Amino acid sequence: MSLRKGLSLAAIGSLMSFTAWAQAPSLEAGVAGSTDFAATEGMATVLYDQTDNAGANGAPDQDFEASFDAYDAEGADDFNVDWPDGWVIQQVNTVGTTGTPGGALVDVNVYSDNSGTPLGGSMVCSYNDVTPTTDNLGALTVDLPTDCNVPTGVHWLAIQVNQNFGTFGQHFWSNRTTQTGNAGHWRNPGDGFATGCLDWTPMTTCGVGGGVNPDFLFSIVGMLGEPQVPIIEVPTLGQIGLITLLLSLAVIGLLRMRRH
């Protein structure tokens, strides 16, 4: 083999390796997302807001096409429902970044807390393949198809974006430099990112999104739950008449017994 041919083959091999590396999903975003969300409508209000102290990074939270299944990842962070009658969640907003906006469908799950983690927590609400109301370069406003009624206490919001990597690139959930409640969790069941975090684990332990920022950026929109008034059955006119008849018969019976 000539030297020129050998160098050409080596160059082609290097280019192919670089291309394959460049096309593999990344473990961190390296940039911050936008917090410009759609305005709330009607009676809805912001129930929880954790969009301050943004970090300049983000963690993968994407369901890729079949060829990248090993990289499928999901993020979750906790929030505290402090209203005694619970919350009615109607919308969630997540700060994020993406390659090309417009190709995302979103899975939204709410879990109960299990001693500071969503691992082993029960499912409260689940929504699959929801089209975002807005996709601002990866910052998503997601109106839930039905209300999610969440009781008082700590719960977890889990987000996964269904997006074709080859067409729209990679989506990341932006993170936060400060921690509120429990640290944000992350999982990658196929371990394509080689972190060992096959199930819910604190994001910083997994080393994703830079490995230093403990929380995710999100807000929750909806209404406060209404007090549950006990239902008292009121007798109908027919029931009242029957009760009156029975009482009258009882009184007549007592009077006859006394006469005898």
pLDDT at residue number 237 = 54
pLDDT at residue number 256 = 65
Spatial distance between the Cα atoms of 100 and 80, rounded to a whole number of angstroms: 33
CA 178 remoteness from chain centre = 19
pLDDT at residue number 13 = 39
pLDDT at residue number 90 = 98
pLDDT at residue number 112 = 98
Q: Could you tell me how many residues make up the chain?
A: 260
Spatial distance between the Cα atoms of 247 and 16, rounded to a whole number of angstroms: 95
CA 212 remoteness from chain centre = 21
Q: What is the pTM assigned to this prediction? A: 0.80
pLDDT at residue number 241 = 65
pLDDT at residue number 10 = 37
pLDDT at residue number 249 = 72
CA 75 remoteness from chain centre = 8
pLDDT at residue number 226 = 86
Pairing of strands 62-63, 153-162: parallel
Lookup: tokens for 195: 């972190």
Q: Mean pLDDT per 10-residue run, the chain (260 residues)? A: 41 34 82 75 87 96 98 98 98 97 97 98 98 96 98 98 97 98 98 98 97 98 82 60 69 63
Residue 165 contacts residue 68 (beta carbons within 8 Å) = yes
